[in-house]
Amino acid sequence: MGEGNGNLVGELEKERRRNLEHNLRVVEYFAKLAAAGDPDYWPYVEFINAFYRYLWKRLEDPLFLETYLRDKAP
């Protein structure tokens, strides 16, 4: 592997960690909504799930994946 690949791996790891931190905040938020009995809790969850299903499906397209990763690069 060249140095460029090492940089990409490092950047992808940073992105993964940022995503995990964000996901933790989202889970905490939804836990608070659920605990408060918020009537919009399930619609929020369904909206998020629908978006992630769409995104994961789109990531199967190599062109979309390349564009997505390129746009995430610093």
Position 8, amino acid: L
pLDDT at 48: 86
C-alpha to C-alpha distance for 43 and 46, rounded to whole angstroms: 5
pLDDT at 9: 84
Position 16, amino acid: R
Q: Low-confidence residues of the chain, pLDDT below 70? A: 1-5, 71-74
C-alpha to C-alpha distance for 58 and 74, rounded to whole angstroms: 22
pLDDT at 54: 92
C-alpha to C-alpha distance for 1 and 13, rounded to whole angstroms: 16
CA atoms within 13 A on the CB side of 62: 0
Q: Any idea where the domains of the chain sit in the sequence?
A: 3-72
pLDDT at 25: 93
Residue closest to 55 by CA, chosen among 69, 74, 73? 69
